[in-house]
Structure 1
Amino acid sequence: MKLTAIEHEMMSGAMGEPRRIAIEHQLKVGRFFDAEETVEIGHVHIMADTEALGEAGVTFLENIARFPEQDRRVRVPTVTDPRGADFDAYKRIRHDESFITLERRADKAFRALDVMMTDTCINYQVFMPPVFREHVAFGDTGSSIYTNSVLGARTNFEGGPSALAAALTGRTPRYGFHLDECRRGTALFEVSTQPMSYSDWGALGGLVGREMQSYWEVPVIDGIASTPTSDELKHFGAALASFGSTPLFHMVGITPEAPILDEVFDGPPPTATKLDTKSIKDFYASYLPNDDELHVVVFAAPQLSLDEMRQLGHLLDGRRVDDKVALIACTAPAVKETSDRLGITEQIEAAGGIVLKGVCFYNMHAREIGEANGWRRLMSNSAKIVNILGGYGYEPAFASMECCVASACSGRIVV
């Protein structure tokens, strides 16, 4: 890889040991992916929950945090993905104290690096959304696919160590989706139905994701009749990234790099995979259990936007969650603060719901929380979360937000 003068300086250790470690890591990654050079980035979004970090990861962060401030401070604005615990509400869900202790240590270490603890996967809706063609280093899959696809900025899926390295150096290896040639369409999907709900959009994303064969595939979606909202694209992208490990999609006439179909592919478009109303209904049916038993309803993955919180509040207004069922809504701390001010949080919790801030249910030791509370059957309107939590000991059910609320209040699955 070609190194700039400042990168040589980092490699020499003249800019501190943390940056030397970081640039060394990036050179290994870059060489593995045949990157010719690095590219300067605008900012970093780092996944930092302790379920992923573990004791070893937290200790590594603490060691970096012990270096002098000028050596350890990040070089570009750096924000965090959802954390592994809500320090103000963890007892309400029987979250183990040992995890909370580990989370506090990680939080302290990140703050010492001048990382901004935004604790959200919807940073593109809340803080500093990237701009078209801006290079960034994002970790969360849902955040990355939205940034690449809807905003037209450029990132790969950056694992925790790589995102931290990017924060310390202000650059990332130029490979993959930082390159024009990797952003061209490779597969075509023709949609003959218009999704009507967030869960419909998630189902569509899941269907496309199931067809993906590798990280490098770029699906192109044609046939969407009306422009989706930010939240609808959020659910679509999060599900697609979860089911397909896919960082980029194009939606013809909607996303910035796909104004018309002919401009998305190198050469003639491939034969299209057709998706219709039946495809979406079959996706729902694949998550329909054999009985109506229900233990917990979760709205998360992605975290809820302010408008989703508002809608949930209206659906719960004047109703009561059944005593046998828990209802949990996860959102960004900044959205929670606004929801508090607008009375939305009170509306949800007066009905028996629990609002958690700065977390996302699947990466906050969901298996252990389920065991502590006796939760097995989980219901959500997030296609991403039902895809993930089947591997955490849950039996997931998938439905619209309206059906999820009706089920929580009935104490059984209602579809």
Structure 2
Amino acid sequence: MSLLSLSKEDLEMLDGSHGKAAQQAMRIIVRMAHIQQATELVDISHVHIGGSIYTGKGSLNVIEELVSNGAQVRVPTTVNSISIDRSQRGVWNSGNEFDTNAGRLATALEAMGANPIFSCTPYVFPKTPQFGQNVLWAESNAIVYANSVIGARTNRHGDFMDVCAALTGRVPKSGLHLSENRRGTLLVHVPDVAGADPSFYTVLGYLIGKHAAADIPVIEGIRQKPSLEELKSLCATLATSGAVGMFHMVDVTPEAPTLEAALGNVEPQRRFDVTKDQLRQVWNELSSASSTTLSMVAMGSPHATLGDLAELRALVSGKKKHPRVEFLITTSRFVRDRAQELGIVKDLEEFGVRISTDTCLCMFNSSRVPSDATGIMTNSGKFAHYGPGLISRGIYFGAAKDCVDSAIAGKPVISEPGWLRS
């Protein structure tokens, strides 16, 4: 067991001077510090709680017990997507036990003082963490984004560690909180492509994640700085197909102004040269469906950004979806409200889009999808990966334009992207 140095306030929380909930949380933090062989705890500036998904009464009971013991967050804390859309009664909230308990879990987190943004993209909200700050962010894509794009510092943790960190403001100083553990170890060379879009970064992330294992990838060869939406797509699939918690992109991410800086001025442990044939293979394998008709298009995992909705608006302008096809997008209320102010929501609804907030596609299960739904399509690599297991049927994957074209035709219409042909 490591020799752990605790501050006066840490010890006060442990002896119950700050209340029973803080004491329970600090005991878990200290236990985890010993497991991780940390010698000290570190202050954090922000928490994003990922344990907001209702997975059974155990997950609810723990949080409600903490609330009954006086739990209150000590640092700014936001809440990830939840299992229901609380803004739409009768659409997602059937009144059954699952929905009721999922709502109770969200309410309990609010009672602790957490900000109910109910989103898996906390980095699009105001007051995000700053470069170099220690945080505890849960939700796999947000973890990768925080470490890589923002340059904040967080590890990948299991559920309830996020809540314990929020109640104590402390985490073990280990893993990616330590500078020596943040250097890249896997050098990834990407071929030059023309017309890269979010689908390219989705496929690239999925491919690298499968090869990265526990390594930190350093990506070189990207000629044009990716947009927020493209980086979101990359972060999501890096953390879906692999256990990646951080990457560097040379001359793009803040800790990689040069290749040498990203690698910590040492040789990489491994090298991986991406080929277009490998990218094409991933593009094809992300589609697991075989239906010749289409019942649903589902987008927004991770949550759609304002840029995503603006891109979709341009694609659907003056068009109408097939009456048989449901077109669903999940996003946060924050993004939806901004899109509404700009008239984007109205234009999307005229095409036939339904926007759902609070929840996310990865909270789907078979009961959330019509039993007669055959073909389902997405532009989300994350949902293409998890969806078949969640909803017990195959899913088609394509770019945003493919999703729109398919929704209009009422059948899968997928074209090999230009970046594969260039």
> Normalised by the shorter chain, which TM-score bucket?
over 0.9
CA distance in 2 between partners of 1:317 and 1:253 (Å): 36
CA distance in 1 between partners of 2:63 and 2:258 (Å): 46
In structure 1, stretches of 5+ residues that fail to align are none
Instruction: Answer yes or no: is the 8 Å Cα contact 1:262–1:269 preserved in 2.
Output: no
Residue aligning to 2:149 = 150
* Offset of residue 298 of structure 1: 1.0
* 1:237-316 matched pairs, under 5 angstroms: 237-266=235-264, 267-270=266-269, 272-288=271-287, 289-316=289-316
The answer as to 2:11 corresponding to 1:8 is yes
Residue aligning to 1:82 = 81
Instruction: Answer yes or no: is the 8 Å Cα contact 1:193–1:224 preserved in 2.
Output: yes
Residues 156-196 of structure 1 show CA distances to partners (whole Å, capped at 9, x for unaligned) of 12322100000000111111110112111111110013362
Residue aligning to 2:420 = none
Residue aligning to 1:105 = 104
* 1:119-134 matched pairs, under 5 angstroms: 119-134=118-133
* Offset of residue 376 of structure 1: 4.6
Residues 104-156 of structure 1 show CA distances to partners (whole Å, capped at 9, x for unaligned) of 21122112111110111111111322111100000011111001001111001
Code of the aligned partner of 1:320: K
TM-score normalised by the chain length of structure 2: 0.92
Instruction: Answer yes or no: is the 8 Å Cα contact 2:301–2:361 preserved in 1.
Output: yes
Residue aligning to 2:224 = 226
* 1:144-223 matched pairs, under 5 angstroms: 144-194=143-193, 196-214=196-214, 217-223=215-221
Code of the aligned partner of 1:26: I
The answer to which structure has the higher helix fraction is 1
* 1:54-73 matched pairs, under 5 angstroms: 54-67=56-69, 71-73=70-72
TM-score normalised by the chain length of structure 1: 0.93
CA distance in 2 between partners of 1:192 and 1:169 (Å): 46
**Greater shift in the superposed pair: 39-48 or 123-132:** 123-132
Code of the aligned partner of 2:66: I
CA distance in 1 between partners of 2:298 and 2:305 (Å): 15
Residues 21-41 of structure 1 show CA distances to partners (whole Å, capped at 9, x for unaligned) of 000001111111111111100
* 1:290-369 matched pairs, under 5 angstroms: 290-363=290-363, 365-369=364-368
* Residues 287, 270 of structure 1: alpha-carbon distance in 2 compared, 3 angstrom cutoff: same
Residue aligning to 2:417 = none
**Percent of matched pairs sharing the same residue:** 29
* Residues 213, 50 of structure 1: alpha-carbon distance in 2 compared, 3 angstrom cutoff: closer
Residue aligning to 2:384 = 386
Instruction: Answer yes or no: is the 8 Å Cα contact 2:86–2:93 preserved in 1.
Output: no
| Partner SS, residue 91 of structure 2 | helix
CA distance in 2 between partners of 1:161 and 1:290 (Å): 39
CA distance in 1 between partners of 2:409 and 2:327 (Å): 12
Instruction: Answer yes or no: is the 8 Å Cα contact 2:301–2:382 preserved in 1.
Output: yes
* Residues 338, 254 of structure 1: alpha-carbon distance in 2 compared, 3 angstrom cutoff: same
Code of the aligned partner of 2:111: A
| Partner SS, residue 150 of structure 2 | coil
* Offset of residue 377 of structure 1: 3.2
Code of the aligned partner of 2:286: Y
Instruction: Answer yes or no: is the 8 Å Cα contact 2:292–2:375 preserved in 1.
Output: no
Instruction: Answer yes or no: is the 8 Å Cα contact 2:291–2:374 preserved in 1.
Output: no
Residues 316-349 of structure 1 show CA distances to partners (whole Å, capped at 9, x for unaligned) of 2222222222111111111111122222222222
CA distance in 2 between partners of 1:86 and 1:182 (Å): 39
**Greater shift in the superposed pair: 132-141 or 81-90:** 81-90
* Offset of residue 95 of structure 1: 5.5
CA distance in 2 between partners of 1:292 and 1:93 (Å): 28
CA distance in 2 between partners of 1:127 and 1:369 (Å): 31
* Residues 115, 345 of structure 1: alpha-carbon distance in 2 compared, 3 angstrom cutoff: same
CA distance in 1 between partners of 2:160 and 2:330 (Å): 26
Aligned residues: 407
* Residues 87, 278 of structure 1: alpha-carbon distance in 2 compared, 3 angstrom cutoff: same
CA distance in 2 between partners of 1:175 and 1:377 (Å): 45
CA distance in 2 between partners of 1:264 and 1:104 (Å): 43
CA distance in 2 between partners of 1:114 and 1:329 (Å): 28
After TM superposition, where is structure 1 displaced by more than 6 Å over at least 4 residues in a row? Answer: none
* Residues 95, 224 of structure 1: alpha-carbon distance in 2 compared, 3 angstrom cutoff: farther
Instruction: Answer yes or no: is the 8 Å Cα contact 1:193–1:276 preserved in 2.
Output: no
* Offset of residue 239 of structure 1: 0.7
| Partner SS, residue 20 of structure 1 | helix
* Offset of residue 292 of structure 1: 3.0
| Partner SS, residue 132 of structure 1 | coil
Query: What is the RMSD computed on CA atoms of the aligned residues?
Result: 1.8
CA distance in 2 between partners of 1:338 and 1:271 (Å): 44
Residue aligning to 1:395 = 394
CA distance in 2 between partners of 1:264 and 1:317 (Å): 42
Code of the aligned partner of 1:301: S
Residues 33-66 of structure 1 show CA distances to partners (whole Å, capped at 9, x for unaligned) of 11111110001000143333x2121122222222
* Offset of residue 380 of structure 1: 1.1
Instruction: Answer yes or no: is the 8 Å Cα contact 1:118–1:333 preserved in 2.
Output: yes
Which of 45, 54, 65 matches 1:51?
A: 54
| Partner SS, residue 395 of structure 2 | strand
Instruction: Answer yes or no: is the 8 Å Cα contact 1:7–1:23 preserved in 2.
Output: yes
CA distance in 2 between partners of 1:280 and 1:291 (Å): 24
| Partner SS, residue 218 of structure 2 | strand
* Residues 272, 395 of structure 1: alpha-carbon distance in 2 compared, 3 angstrom cutoff: same
